[in-house]
Amino acid sequence: MKKFLLILAALLLMMTAACAEEPAAVPAQIVPHVDGMLHMTDAIKKAEAALEVLPADCLTRAELVRMTDDSHQWIVSIFDLTSFTDGWCIAVDAVSGEVKSVDTTNIGYFSEMSARWETAKGVEYLWSLEDKLLYDTLYTMQPTYGMPVSGDMSYAEALVKAMNVLGMTSSADYEIGYGYIMGSGDGTTNGVWEVYFVQGSEYVYKVNLDAVTGAVYLVEPDEEGNG
């Protein structure tokens, strides 16, 4: 009997593990439209119909994405240009046209969306440059993230410069995350490397550097009290 109970307990543990909820699917990449999928205009109409009130003056963006579960969705983001803080993000199944989710914000930041991404991908500061660019493109009113261009220093060079700013000889005590803020399209300003020194779920230090010259734009915390 004891042996039977042990086997039963083991089976229950296996079943519990198998039934554990998988992280919610999040966008993996923007993809081109293909035949058989909803067109952008129809996806936007579906998204607008999901809102109780459509802002009179709004900015609407829509991107067709492949999700991490290999399904395809239109991500439609609508921002109220009167408040500049109210926004809605509606996910529409690209095949069936079903509205899968509606996220909203009155602070200009989709906190629930961010939480789903962190559940799927880990701490935001440590996301890849590609993931930060994708998130920014889909969910922010004015996307600022991009990818390094010719003439920029490498992320490894940016790390060395950031360590020098902080007076570090080693980064072994931290996980290192990177972001890249786009420069101007006309080339009058360079891009900016963000370097994060992370412990747990928070960054301890952040250094922003001109991606070409290495000039320091920001240090957090600013222990010398500048700025």
Neighbours of 34 (CB within 10 A): 9
Give the pLDDT band of residue 185 (cuts 50, 70, 90).
confident
Residues 87-109: tens digit of each pLDDT: 999 999 999 999 999 999 999 99
Residues 91 and 179 in one domain: no
- Domain closes at, from 129, 163, 190: 129
Q: Is 136 a domain residue?
A: no
β-strands 58-67, 175-181 pairing = unpaired
Residue 6 falls within a domain, yes or no?
no
Give, to the nearest 10 degrees, the angle between helix 129-139 and helix 111-121: 160
In-domain check, residue 169:
yes
Task: Check: CB of residue 192 under 8 Å from CB of residue 181.
Answer: yes
pLDDT value for 23: 86
The residues, ordered by sequence, that sit 6+ positions from 107 with a Cβ below 8 Å of its Cβ are 85
* Confidence band of 211 (pLDDT split at 50, 70, 90): very high
- Structural domain including 199 reads 155-220
Residue 187 binned pLDDT confidence (cut-offs 50, 70, 90): confident
For residue 70, pLDDT over 90 is answered with yes
Per-residue tokens: 126 = 């440590």
pLDDT the model gives residue 223 = 61
Exposed e or buried b for every residue in 136-172, given b needs 16+ CB within 10 A? bbbbbeeeebbebeeebbebeebbebbbebeebeebe
Taken in order 123, 76, 107, 113, the sign of the CA dihedral is: negative
Q: How far apart are CA 78 and CA 170, in angstroms?
A: 44
pLDDT value at 219 more than 80: yes
Averaged pLDDT, 9-36: 73
- What is the pLDDT averaged over residues 117-136? 97
pLDDT band for position 222 (cuts 50, 70, 90):
low
Residue 3 falls within a domain, yes or no?
Answer: no
**pLDDT score, position 1:** 54
Q: Is the pLDDT assigned to residue 117 strictly greater than 80?
A: yes
Average of per-residue pLDDT across 82-86: 94
Residue 4 lies in a domain: no
- Quick one: pLDDT at residue 186? 87
Decide if 134 is inside a domain.
Answer: no
Tell me the average pLDDT across 196-215: 98
Cα 124 to Cα 80, 131, 187: the distances in Å are 26, 9, 29
Helix or strand holding residue 45 (H, E): helix 40-49
Shared domain check, 104 and 195: no
Query: How many domains, in total, are found in the chain?
Result: 2
Is 58 a member of any domain? Answer: yes
Helix (H) or strand (E) segment spanning residue 90: strand 87-93
First vs last C-alpha separation in the chain: 72
pTM: predicted TM-score of the whole model, two decimal places: 0.87
> So what's the pLDDT on residue 6?
46
Query: Six-digit token pair at 202?
Result: 């928070």
Q: What is d(CA 1, CA 96) in angstroms, rounded to the nearest whole number?
A: 52
Taking all residues of the chain, what is their mean pLDDT, rounded to a whole number? 91
**What token pair was written down for 108?**
């200009």
Give yes or no: residues 111 and 204 share one domain. Answer: no
| 200 located within any domain | yes
